[in-house]
Amino acid sequence: MASQWSLIGEGEIFLGLCSGGPLRSAGQVKEFKLEVSEETKELKNYQGGGGLADQVSWISKVEASFHFLSLSAKNLAMALHGDNADLASGTVSNQSHTAYAGGFLPLDGIGPSAVTVTVDPPAWSATTAKAVGEIVKPGTGTHFYRCTEAGSTGATEPTWPTDGSTVTDGTVTWQDAGTMVLTTAEF
């Protein structure tokens, strides 16, 4: 058997940890439900014409649900059995990730204020098969090049353009993809 209690009106809901400590306001709560489930054992009356001789009931489960409209970090941490301690900020550097065109690149940390991405493709090599989309860096210079037509590289490194145009290298066509260090704006 389950019982549900609701309050129609207004009031303030306070939350606290089972282990003790101060109660704190939950803030704006649109809806609060408390559901109590009970189990009952009955002893039938076998001596006096039927009915019940006795019964015992106990609470088997209590569930509460909240519809928060404003949830604080402290209340969320308490609900998730976590901690909302402030952490000192710091610099995260030298992360190595593989990025793909049009893909998502997850970064370590929360809400970085500035990100510098360094593109470090493999160096160009002679007589090597290349697929469309592969990127290489030349022996000198700061640009990198994306394969736009698959094939095999030539025996000698080509003269690389730096104006966004293409160059043929053996049977491979490369397009200038810009400089190897990209800096994004703060976000």
At 14, phi and psi to the nearest 5? -115, 140
pLDDT of 7 above 80:
no
Sign of CA dihedral 151, 156, 159, 162: positive
Query: What local confidence, expressed as pLDDT, does residue 149 receive?
Result: 96
> How far apart, in whole angstroms, are the C-alpha atoms of residue 149 and residue 108?
35
**Average pLDDT value for residue range 150-160:** 95
Percent of the residues in the chain that have a pLDDT greater than 90, as a whole number: 30
pLDDT digits (tens, 9 = 90+) for 64-81: 888 878 777 877 777 777
**Average pLDDT value for residue range 127-138:** 93
**Average pLDDT value for residue range 51-58:** 88
Kind and range of the H or E run holding 73: helix 73-79
- pLDDT band, very low/low/confident/very high, at 13 (cuts 50, 70, 90): confident
Contact 154, 167 (CB under 8 A): no
Is this model's pTM higher than 0.85 or not? no
Query: What local confidence, expressed as pLDDT, does residue 3 receive?
Result: 67
Query: What local confidence, expressed as pLDDT, does residue 187 receive?
Result: 41
> How far apart, in whole angstroms, are the C-alpha atoms of residue 90 and residue 87?
9
